[in-house]
Amino acid sequence: MHRRTLLAGGLGLAASGLVAGAGAAQTIAAPDPAQPATPFVPPPKLVQLPYAMTPYEVHVFPDQFRLYWTLPDRTAWEYPIRVGRDRLYEDGEFYVGAKKEWPSWTPTPDMVEREPEKYAKYAEEGMPGGPGNPLGARALYLFQEGRGDTYLRIHGTDEPETIGRAVSNGCAGLINEQIVMLYDQVPMDTRVKLYPKLNPAG
């Protein structure tokens, strides 16, 4: 996939269009100083790639905290993401084996073993979908041939402060508003490429 070429450009991809917010001319109320400010997460943007990539694939670059949904004519939608912390991130080639809206969530045995105080209570029955669920508004389930469900997800989060950080249990996360957009773009069986970390400790 000429990964070195893509990384050599630092993913400094020139934006050819931005997602404009609706109602930009509306009056915005002054922020309440007593409330913590919500971290700003850049909107998805349409970018020009430095070289042609196969259209209609998902590419995740963990060191740049960016996900790309590739399109024809060397363009792609770029999304800011969070990724797996430490060595929980798993690179490789996958495909979208399932898609769910407001999915339920059950921690994996490894998660329960690592942090029983946090996850053990959900080990049996899990958590129903809805606000506050760790998988957020939408989830793309990553599968591999011969392995089936890898328990890796590209999913939503209501924690914007985690975007641009390596904090998850291995999955790639987008804020809920943006995973809804990506979910509608990406069909079943889409190829997903998760690139290796250049800094595995990050």
Whether 16 shows a pLDDT value over 50: the answer reads no
pLDDT, tens digit (0-9, with 9 covering 90-100), for 125-166: 888 888 888 999 999 999 999 999 999 999 999 999 999 999
Stretch 92-107: mean pLDDT: 95
Residue tagged active-site, from 6, 49, 171, 192: 171
69 pLDDT more than 80: yes
Tens-place pLDDT, residues 32-55: 556 567 789 999 999 999 989 999
> Are 200 and 98 a contacting pair, CB within 8 Å?
no
2 is catalytic: no
- What's the half-sphere exposure (Cβ side, CA atoms, 13 Å) at 38? 8
**Environment class of 171 (CB within 10 Å of its CB; exposed 0-12, middle 13-18, buried 19+):** buried
Task: Specify the pLDDT at position 202.
Answer: 55
Q: Is 60 a catalytic residue?
A: no
Name the catalytic one among 138, 155, 173, 186: 155
Rounded distance between C-alpha atoms, residue 144 and residue 34, angstroms: 47
Residue for token pair 């934006």: 15
Find tokens 């399932």 and name the residue. Answer: 98
Report pTM.
0.79
**Distance separating alpha carbons of residues 25 and 181, to the nearest angstrom:** 23
Structural domains of the chain in order of their starting residue, each with its CATH number: 3-11+39-194 (2.40.440.10)
